[in-house]
Amino acid sequence: MNSKMSTAIGISRRKRPSAGVVISFILLLGLALLWVYPFIWMFSASFKSNQAILSDGLRLLPREPTFSAYGRAWNEAHFNVYFLNSVITTAATIVIVVLRCSTSGYVLAMYDFRGKKLIEAMLIVTFFIPTGTMLIPTVLMSKNMGLLNTRIGLILALAGGGQVASTFMYKGFFQQTPRELVEAGEIDGAGFLRCFLSIMLPLTGPITATTVILTFMGAWNNFMLPLVFTFSNAALRTLPVGMMVFSKGDMVDYSGQCAAALLSIAPIVLAYVFCQKYFVSGIAGAIKS
Amino acid sequence: MKRINTLKRHRTPYGWIYLFLAPTLILFSMYTLYPIGATVWYSLTNMRSFTSRNIAFVGLANYRALFADSQFLNSLSVTGRFLLMAVPARFVLSLLLALLLNWKRCMGKTFFRTMFFLPVLTTSAIIGVVFIMILDPTMGPVNIILNRLNIQSLASVSLLGNFNTALPTTAIVWVWKWLGNSLIYWIASLQSVPDELYEAARIDGANSWQLFKSIVVPLLIPFAVIILILTVSDAIRVFNLMLTLTNGGPFFATETVEVFIYRHAFQASSPRMAYASAAAAVFGFAFMMIVVIQRIANAAVKRGEQ
């Protein structure tokens, strides 16, 4: 009865959208077009020849569509290597970040211990310091430890630092979880590790998803660290660094660059389409803390 | 009130606690604490490159040279002008958009939000490469459109390559790239305004503007302060986009402080690590000041609420 009524109202509204609704929709559509245009242009250019890009003006639809740019980007410009490097680096970074943030968030939430206040204060104070400030010593230290120009060195640098947001997200979550769960586990004879691994960690689904997404975005798109970590080891370049090298090469290959760019952003756009919720909660978290 | 939720036991399992903290403490010491201290130390020496030997302590000489260096002062000015152009644009435009997208009767919310979020998902390295093509004065669509619109003063100009247009152009690209992020901040803030407040006001006969002015604005002010600070701190760290779009050029017109640091440390034929470290220390200190100001502003806003 009630639902029938509201549907009826809904229909009558839908029949005659007010002027305001239509105007705002057109406004948004126009603005959105401005935002998507560079991607549409890039998409279209990736199916053109370089000559066509130069002569086509504003025409978006390719006259003679060709896939060859994707082949050139993937094989000749080594984006197959860069892509694999990005996948390995990002995956390893995510594993380390989830592990270290969930464990440290857990003990910070559940226990009072000496040094806790100090650790939390240090994490918060250094939260905002720009990476640029710390770049030179990071590179020099990595060089001295033999980590510069190595994959493991890059991964450690990406997963290093404070990772404050994720640590405190886990901490906040564990604080809100009833501690009776752990106490019950202990009565059943579960030790510290058991309680964490089989009682508490499985509950962190949404937090872990948000952490994975945030770290994915940070590591996949990071530019500064991979750039300085792969100066003398081209075989370890990630997609963003490869992109810059490709664009600064001797041969200007516009359609190849566009194809490479689309290949590079495809995974993260796909992730966004399927896990939009976690992207939004991860970013919105910055203002709620 | 802080909730007391720590486990009560006879014995705190220190072994486990420090084992669980170890990864974070080790990585944090290596990649945050040590670099902060080392930056300050390097800045007080005469170290030139990563392979320098016989490094000597020189006191504040690097800092004195820095503030006498017109290129460093230029980079401060570039960063400042970039802030003044880019921050208000991103702040206001994203608020207006969020108000539209938060409107109950707005159509296609998720679709539009996705569209505005696409550039946020894309790494600056790619944005840089694509905009160099799109802003290319001979083949790029922007100059073609300027020409069709008969804006002759700009139509044949390389917008990224011209001394006067380069910085405003990078500011526009930056706003374009990050708007979707601010949009999510604002939408999350707007959604924290309880629906009942709107309903109550509407029953009292308030119109949309009155609603906005007397209910939404006061509740949004604390969020606005945080969003403004986040936007400013983003704008100061514009390094990636600048490096790929213009590399600080033409003739240092877009050389922000971080690009200045990077150039002296990694791009120069004879690097000046100590000098770059001094610039980094000044930059980090200025940045921390902004955070302190934020804390004070936050506290003031909270006091105002009570």
- Torsions phi, psi for B45 (to 5 deg): -120, -175
Q: Which of A107, A126, A247 sits opposite B129 (nearest CB)?
A: A247
Residue of A nearest to B279 (CA): A133
Question: A40 to chain B, minimum CA–CA distance in Å?
Answer: 11
What was the pLDDT predicted at A184?
Answer: 84
Size of interface A-B (CB pairs under 8 A): 284
Q: List, by residue range, all CATH 1.10.3720.10 domains of chain A.
A: 77-249
Pick from B95, B96, B121, B244 the residue to mutate for testing the A interface (most A CBs within 10 Å): B121
Please write the tens of the pLDDT for every residue from A78-89. Answer: 999 999 999 999
Q: How far is Cα B247 from Cα B239, in angstroms, rounded to an integer?
A: 9
Helices (H), chain B: 14-28, 34-43, 61-67, 70-102, 109-121, 124-134, 141-148, 152-155, 166-191, 195-203, 208-211, 217-236, 239-245, 257-262, 273-305
Answer yes or no: is pLDDT of A7 > 50.
Answer: no
Taking the CA of residue B201 as centre, how many other CA atoms within 13 Å lie in the half-sphere pointing to its CB?
17
Of all helices (H) and strands (E), which one includes residue A174?
A: helix A164-176
3-state secondary structure of A130: coil
């650790």: which residue's tokens?
A: A119
Instruction: Enumerate long-range contacts of A30-37, CB under 8 Å, 24 or more apart.
Output: A31/B97, A32/B111, A32/B112, A32/B115, A32/B116, A34/B176, A35/B115, A35/B116, A35/B118, A35/B119, A35/B176, A35/B179, A36/B115, A36/B118, A37/B141
Name the region of B54 (left: φ>0; alpha: ψ -120 to 50; beta: rest): left
The CATH number of B63-108+182-305, from 1.20.59.20, 2.40.37.20, 1.10.3720.10, 1.10.1530.10, is: 1.10.3720.10
The structure tokens listed for A149 are 């120009």
Indicate the pLDDT class of residue A123, thresholds 50, 70 and 90. confident
Q: How far is CA B216 from the centre of its chain?
A: 26
Provide the sign of the torsion angle of the four alpha carbons A150, A151, A156, A159, taken in this order. positive
Work out the minimum CA distance from A193 to partner chain B, whole angstroms: 8
Q: What is the DSSP secondary-structure string of B232-269?
A: HHHHHT-HHHHHHHTTT-STTTT--HHHHHHIIIIISS
pLDDT in the model for residue B176: 96
Name, in order, each residue with C-beta under 8 angstroms of A175's C-beta and a sequence gap of 6 or more: A109, B3, B5
Q: Give the Å distances, CA to CA, from A191 to A74, B6, B188.
A: 50, 17, 40
Task: Choose, out of B26, B130, B234, B244, the residue to mutate when testing the contact with A (most A CBs < 10 Å).
Answer: B130
Give CA B48 to chain center in angstroms: 30
Per-residue model confidence (pLDDT) at position A125: 81
What is the least distance, in Å, from the CA of A112 to any CA of chain B?
Answer: 7
Mean pLDDT of A110-115: 86
Q: Is B92 on the interface with A (CB under 8 A)?
A: no
Residues 19-78 of A with CB under 8 A from B: 20-21, 24-25, 27-28, 31-32, 34-39, 41-42, 45, 53-54, 57-58
The separation between CA B290 and the C-alpha centre of its own chain, rounded to angstroms, equals 12
Rounded to whole angstroms, the Cα distance separating B277 from B18 reads 33
DSSP A192-214: HHHIIIIIIGGGGHHHHHHHHHH
- Any B CB within 8 A of A279 CB: yes
B239 to chain A: which residues are within 8 Å by CB? 132, 224
Query: What interface predicted TM-score (ipTM) does this complex get?
Result: 0.86
Band of residue A4 on the pLDDT scale cut at 50, 70, 90: very low
Average pLDDT of span A31-54: 92
Residue of B nearest to A195 (CA): B16
Report whether pLDDT(A134) > 90: no
Predicted confidence at residue A8, as pLDDT, reads 44
Question: Which residues of chain B lie closer than 8 angstroms to A112, CB-CB?
Answer: 6, 12
Predicted confidence at residue A251, as pLDDT, reads 77
| CATH fourth-level superfamily of A77-249 | MetI-like (1.10.3720.10)
CA dihedral B140, B146, B151, B156 (to 10 degrees): 10
B121 is written with which tokens? 């998902």
Residue A259 has pLDDT above 90, yes or no: yes
CB-based contact B241:B177 (threshold 8 Å): yes
Encode pLDDT of B106-146 as tens digits. Answer: 788 888 989 999 999 999 999 999 999 999 988 889 999 99
Q: Minimal Cα–Cα distance from A99 to chain B, Å?
A: 8
When pLDDT is averaged across residues A256-266 and rounded to a whole number, the result is 94
Is there a contact between A141 and B128 if contact means CB atoms under 8 Å apart? Answer: no
* Mean pLDDT to the nearest integer, A15-26: 79
pLDDT band per the 50, 70, 90 thresholds, residue A12: very low
Q: Per-residue confidence of chain B (306 residues) as pLDDT tens digits?
A: 444 455 555 567 888 888 999 999 999 999 999 999 999 999 999 988 887 778 889 989 999 999 999 999 999 999 999 999 999 999 999 999 998 888 777 788 888 989 999 999 999 999 999 999 999 988 889 999 998 898 888 888 889 999 999 999 999 999 999 999 999 999 888 888 777 777 777 677 667 677 777 777 888 888 888 888 889 888 988 888 999 999 888 999 999 999 999 999 988 888 899 999 999 999 988 888 877 887 787 777 777 665
> CB-based contact (8 Å) between A257 and chain B?
yes
